[in-house]
Structure 1
Amino acid sequence: MNHRRRPLVSVVAVVVAIGLLGTMQASAQTDPPRTAWGQPDLQGVWDFRSITPMQRPNDLADQEFLTTEEAAELDQAAVERDVQSWNREARRTEAGGNVGAYNNFWMDRGLKSVGTRRTSLIVYPPNGRMPSMTPSGQERAQARRDYAREHPADTWSDFSSGVRCILGFNAGPPFTPSAYNNNMQLFQTPDTVVVMTEMVNTSRVIPLNGQPHLDPDVLQWSGDSRGYWEGDTLVVETRNFDAKRKWRGTTASTRLVERFTRVDAETLEYTFTVTDPETWTSAWTASVPLVLNPEPMFEYACHEGNYSMPVMLGGARTEELAGDGQP
């Protein structure tokens, strides 16, 4: 009996956590800008850079918020790390060298923690960390690690969807702060919104007219999204994820609920709740404040079928012939 009640308790706890977060937002926000048809205007390019970690560091234990001084120290440390990266000795391209993230010019991690001074983007569970993985989730994770170790580049499908330019590592959904391309553009009509992330130009066209979800057998990289208004908050529910995207080890059972709330002229509060009973023992929720970016969002030129794929596979075959890898 206790096992049957546990999921209900988890769901109730998440709802309470989101409710409290919503109350805090409501008390702080001014009347949001509105469209000509009366909805809150969520349009624009939104910057979600942040140095606040997704999970609360272990050394902060039950500390939910940083002090003003601690937040300032964290921000200053980020600035100093960035300066050190710029001042490093130049690295020249050479055979066998890193052809990926070798140049700080391409990095755009951000230099500030979130304005709330939270110690993590995760707001539920209360410890600011992801819930424990289920036994089956742990088994799948170990199987992936074992396979990747033995078969790093046997064929194109051994590479991640990010390397293959199908999905970006921070595009989601849900989208989350990462090394670069931390922008999202939102377009809006009375019955549709479009959410497009800078990373790999991932776009979701989201009906708001009550249109039913696709058949459960129709799976997509970014899932199938449907939206509706809950007061001044846009709620987007997404399902039908293709498990091949392997986002944090999730399965096709994943359900995602995103909430977009215009707090003021410059801020859009973005919260999301992820539920996958095959991966985690409970749902978890994160909150990411987005800042209006006055600059346009440019195309990120990463595309599936890029010529680097046959080059990478060719490099793996060369290593095998040289005895550095296992055929």
Structure 2
Amino acid sequence: MAAHFPIRSLTAISLVLSLAAPAAVAQISSTYHAPKNGWGQPDLQGTYTTATITPLTRDPKLGVRNVLTKAEADALEQATRDQIARADAPTPPEATVKDLKNADCGPDGISGFNCGYNQGWKDPGTKLIDINGEKRASIITSPANGQLPPRVAATGGARRAGRTDNPEGFSLGERCLLSFGSSAGPPMLPLMYNNTYQIVQSKDEIAIDVEMVHDVRHIRLNAEHGPSSVKLWMGDSIGHWEGDTLVVETTNMRPEQGLRGGSPNQKVIEKFRRLGPNSLSYQFTVSDPDTYAAPFSGEVEMRTTKGQVYEYACHEGNYALTGMLAGARAEEKHQAEAGGAAKSGGE
């Protein structure tokens, strides 16, 4: 099921705790201070959603402007509500697959017989990220143009020629090993559904239960990183408190997991801070000199939700992976019987 969550940082924090420190995030109000838990820590516990229509990268037409006007924000949010209403409308019982709107997964990509998901499976939210009254045009805040930095190398990449040769050729999400996209992170980014997170604290550790593919991040407090030769799913996360802000440094991520093909040398700095009783600011900076020409930063709003994190039974009733592998084997057999070379890939 889809989900949601929030966070934010201390006084004038610019979420740039990184090497070549990129430009920065907007300053954060210091008027609110989080309540303390039994260990004297700022209490971040709760269930949150990050569902948002704010994209990772900005519309190039906006240039370096990352704050939308009220009219722009209202128009985008209303268009989203209208789109969802159209997608939720009952399908006429006499309609055939050829009659369905967007049969080729058109602009909204939500309906039609060729679509993987219709609106009933989705929950991307209807609101833009709102930080201290600023409606954001992109999650990326640095570089200033809201785009990812230029790539210096093409690393990683699960979808490649020959990916149907073995299960290992498919993405981690398709194999139900880890969340799709970068939902579990780090950085933890919103998706089209399952955006709920639950934060649980103890004296020495903070755990984040991620709805998508039931991942749990473990953040050890005031500890040291393990050896670089030991790579972990979601990396090795070490946290400490700076006032009301939880600062987390993650290294030693497995090479299959790097954000958009990132390298195993990727480092992520995250900052969590309460903006108020019902929201958090989640800021991150990714440094990956093997993949990107410069670090990049972003900010996500996490909002409290009344719901709980439900089980994501990824493989229950999932015949897609076996079906794709079986289809590839059938294609190879057909080509062999026809006397042609078996085609590798099966995209």
- Cα gap change, 1:292 to 1:82, in 2 (>3 Å): same
Residue in 1 that maps onto 2:176: 165
Superposition pairs of residues 274-285 of structure 1, within 5 angstroms: 274-285=286-297
State the aligned residue count. Answer: 300
Q: How many Å separate the matches in 2 of 1:221 and 1:192?
A: 17
Superposition pairs of residues 65-76 of structure 1, within 5 angstroms: 65-76=67-78
1:308 deviation in Å?
4.2
Per-residue CA deviation, residues 49-75 of structure 1 (Å, 9 max, x unaligned), is 110011111122232211001000000
Task: Give the 3-state SS of the residue equivalent to 2:322 in structure 1.
Answer: helix
Residue in 2 that maps onto 1:154: 165
Residue in 2 that maps onto 1:199: 212
Residue in 2 that maps onto 1:32: 34
Q: How many Å separate the matches in 2 of 1:107 and 1:98?
A: 16
CA root-mean-square deviation: 2.5
Q: How many Å separate the matches in 2 of 1:166 and 1:270?
A: 24
Superposition pairs of residues 1-327 of structure 1, within 5 angstroms: 11-14=19-22, 17-18=24-25, 21=26, 24-27=27-30, 29-87=31-89, 89=91, 101-115=116-130, 116-134=134-152, 137-138=153-154, 140=155, 144=157, 148=160, 150-169=161-180, 170-208=183-221, 210-303=222-315, 308-323=320-335, 326=343
- Cα gap change, 1:218 to 1:84, in 2 (>3 Å): same
**Equivalent pair of 1:196/1:203 in contact (CA under 8 Å):** yes
The unaligned stretches of length 5 or more in structure 1 are 1-9
Letter in 1 for 2:201: Q
Q: How many Å separate the matches in 2 of 1:275 and 1:98?
A: 41
- Cα gap change, 1:187 to 1:199, in 2 (>3 Å): same
Task: Give the 3-state SS of the residue equivalent to 1:287 in structure 2.
Answer: strand
Q: How many Å separate the matches in 2 of 1:289 and 1:300?
A: 23
User: Runs in 1 of length 4+ with deviation above 6 angstroms?
Assistant: 97-100
Residue in 2 that maps onto 1:3: none
Q: How many Å separate the matches in 1 of 2:247 and 2:207?
A: 13
**Equivalent pair of 2:60/2:145 in contact (CA under 8 Å):** no
Q: How many Å separate the matches in 1 of 2:72 and 2:90?
A: 27
Residue in 2 that maps onto 1:7: none
Please, what TM-score do these two structures have when normalized by structure 1?
0.84
**Equivalent pair of 1:200/1:303 in contact (CA under 8 Å):** no
Considering Cα pairs closer than 8 Å and 6+ residues apart, tell me whether 1 or 2 has the greater RCO. 2
Task: Give the 3-state SS of the residue equivalent to 1:311 in structure 2.
Answer: helix
- Cα gap change, 1:243 to 1:175, in 2 (>3 Å): same
1:107 deviation in Å?
0.3
**Equivalent pair of 1:164/1:304 in contact (CA under 8 Å):** no
Per-residue CA deviation, residues 191-217 of structure 1 (Å, 9 max, x unaligned), is 211011111111122211x32211110
**Equivalent pair of 1:235/1:257 in contact (CA under 8 Å):** yes
Task: Give the 3-state SS of the residue equivalent to 2:327 in structure 1.
Answer: helix
Q: How many Å separate the matches in 2 of 1:303 and 1:215?
A: 33
1:317 deviation in Å?
1.7
- Cα gap change, 1:99 to 1:321, in 2 (>3 Å): farther
Per-residue CA deviation, residues 241-261 of structure 1 (Å, 9 max, x unaligned), is 111224311011000111100
The unaligned stretches of length 5 or more in structure 2 are 1-17, 98-111
Q: How many Å separate the matches in 1 of 2:178 and 2:40?
A: 34
**Equivalent pair of 2:272/2:280 in contact (CA under 8 Å):** yes
Sequence identity (%): 38
**Equivalent pair of 1:236/1:259 in contact (CA under 8 Å):** yes
